Chain A
Amino acid sequence: MKNLIEIESLTFKRGERVIYDNISLQIPQGKTTAIMGPSGIGKTTLLKLIGGQLRPAQGDIKFRGESIPGMTRNRLFKVRRQMSMLFQSGALFTELSVFDNIAYPLREHTKLPESLIKTIVLLKLQAVGLRGAAYLMPSELSGGMARRAALARSIALDPELIMYDEPFAGQDPISMGVLVKLIKELNNALNLTSVVVTHDVTEVMSIADYVYILAEKKIIGSGTPEEIRQSDSSLVQQFLNGEADGPVPFHYPATSLENEFMGAS
């Protein structure tokens, strides 16, 4: 199995705060890889690192064997045309209609005639079930529809890699079901490589081929969904089952209650 992306002993810091401490992971080509972990550990950061928007403090990120942090800006921009990213908010351009949003990457990067662009855009919209909404403005869409429109935009250029940033966050069960179906179908139909960053365990376990669980700056578990479920790591189990207390403590680090009240006097 070939790896599209290889992350090797990556360390990333924001100021003094360490976000990732020497992690390594591989994203195989043509598969769906899920990266899970509690909120606030910088899962989005990982996607930005892969996209070259951030630079690691140490370690390397390779896209098809080519180091992303080592690329020149021009080369990076070329490589980015083969990737695309679905942002949590959708990030549709608010001043353009849905149609123009999806046509945007095509108009930017290709010299296709307008008639062909129209065909492509309508096909992509058909794929996400929003052809009827082509001429609405993003502000007129519901959250789930905006995310589907954004998905159509991110597949407009037929990328090799698509990164989903929390695709299920804040969605009602129906939209969530639609998105799960779309991700699965697109992956099969277009033979995409997908990276899904999420904390919605059940949904992602149903579509992922391989799962990494990140916590406390490290990878605490990895494997196929089946292997993950069988994992004997208490941290992984706490995450999968959503227990309030465990290796990830319920309390933010503090001195003990006794000390707080009694020790001071």
Chain B
Amino acid sequence: MASTFAAVFEIVSFGAIIVLVVLGLGIIASMMGIFNFAQGEFVLLGAYVTYLAYAHGAPVWVGMVAAPFVVGALGFVLEALIIRRFYAAPIVAMLGTYALGLIIRESVRGLIGGFYLTVPEPIGGSIDLGSVHISAWRFTIIVITLLVMGGCYLLLARTSFGLRVRATLENPALARASGISTPLIYGATFAFGAALAGLAGALIVPVFSLFADLGIRFLIQGFVAVMVGGVGSFIGPVAGAGVIGTLSAALPWVMSPVVADVLVFVLAIAFIKFRPQGLIAGKGV
């Protein structure tokens, strides 16, 4: 019983991490129609900002709070300077954001070298539930993921900003005619997605430690999750992330990790092939 509970906690906590990473990716893909290959590097940047704050003597949580704002601001600037030119063609957008990601990744690699740098957990120790000990920080990640998910949902569904974003998604021409500045909305959406990635990076760096290829690992899993969930809605990518995260964490318990790793991707691609609209079809929130 105790080990089952520990396993379930592992699975849920990994699922939460994937959801956190995918949220930003999914919002950019759904709301703007581009697949952002630099998203993994935004995660990396968030982790790096946290590390920088820690290395300069600030408490870890200060870096974690700062990371989304720094990465979000960078995302806003990049959207205005570069990404904006790519809306005409999704494939060019993939290549352009890939080049951006390459620049960010290699810059970070130049700054930190080939090392694995560790950042301590701001909330250390473990929570004891009878005979089971679960990591307090991983539990915090689950809680924050739930809060961020709820926050994003409320932002998109209940605020006037969310209404503008959805209006721009549904019908850009009509949105412009109604006085919504669609370029600004695209900029803000991209910045928001980038900020979410920054937050994800900041939160997971104590678990995975900081290294230059941190982003790539999550990027492909994230893309697959977005496709499985279904592009176009808010809830789709989240659901996809839940499925992919849970599967990748759960399968290694029943089979060899190598096979499980590959099987998740094969299953996901096969699923998308036969259900291209994803788990949850449709637009909106």
Query: Does chain A bind chain B?
Result: no
Using a CB–CB distance below 8 Å, which chain B residues touch chain A? none
